[in-house]
Structure 1
Amino acid sequence: MEVIVPFSTDRPKSRLSDALSPDERSAFARAMLDDVLDAVAAAGGEPRVLATDAVDVDRPVTVDDRPLTAAVNAALDARLGADGDERDADGPPEPVAVVMADLALATPDAVERLFAAGRDADVAVAPGRGGGTNAFVASHPEFRVDYHGASYLDHRDIAAEVGASFAAVDSHRLGTDVDEPDDLAEVLIHGEGRAAAWLREAGFALDASEGRVAVVRE
């Protein structure tokens, strides 16, 4: 299954600015991207980075500097649409997945669960905390995305409007995207890859001395 991994090269992870410098945010974002690509490949997926500018990775890269919704919908048009260049005209479209690049807790098992749900339903979505859409698999030719606001609810409604069967994938690992400084604790607690290692090498650690787990920098 092809898996599109959107990645912004322009001021990545700006909401981590209180914890990381611009160069550190770029390095940390890249570590998370590499973790996601590894998890997808280990789950049997074929990852393709959808980047806002050129990025040096050992995977295919498509550059599209449009906003996320427009860029992902263009990719879905090419793969699921009736006139898509990559669709087999003699049969139904193959499922395509979209997995965000900041899912630092993603594992092959979690991605495999997403794939399995996407084989059973026309649209399978792994919601993020707060109602976002962290990952999905779609095979319905009319399904398109809208990432504004509580996009999980929007995508469930869009699936219903086009007559697509829908499944929710309840996954802590796929549901945890790293946007805010408090999210770094999740990476230090549960992370198993490059992103967690990068944080530790940068001096970040967990402190529970005040009765709650907090992230500190040594």
Structure 2
Amino acid sequence: MTFWKFCSFEGVSVPLEWSYGSRCVKPPIIYGDVSRPKAMTVFWSSMAQNMTKRPMKGMLTGPVTIVNWSFIRNDQQRSETSYQIALAIKDEVEDLEKAGITIIQIDEAALREGLPLRKSEQSFYIEWAVHSFRITNCGVKDTTQTEEVADRIKKILAVLERKFVWVNPDCGLKTREYSEVQPALTNMVDAAKLIRTELACAK
């Protein structure tokens, strides 16, 4: 995964660790302060953009997901490690924007996986998790779309202009059987068609 290119990240050669469904991972070890010595995805995103006239979307894993899917250092708060990763991702986001990538998805697929079981600790976790995500995109221009995967189209439309909303599946589909994927995609397409019809009738 591209975030292994951060400083203080080390890949592991241990057997795969089961995550969920059929998905297994080899979590990296974060052993020190995190930084980004050079661009990680700009070359490939730019090359893909040069092959099409359509907008090319940059894809980055969010800082909280990286923290939750890694073996992290235990000599500082998880929030501090997340902030360091967020600043590194922020640099990548800004470099993608400079390279002409105007749509950048920062995917927090595991944001809730680290939520503490104790209710008394949940508000602090949510506070630093959301702040970490906001750090990653705070430097982009208003014309650059930075999105987090959401699961309900109407909730998205409640806060975003429709011209900024693209309905598409997330990376979780690759961990599912076709019997699960096909109905999910059918429902997604049907929902998008229904909402387009509703929006057209509301004009």
Larger Rg: 2
* TM-score normalised by the chain length of structure 2: 0.29
* TM-score normalised by the chain length of structure 1: 0.27
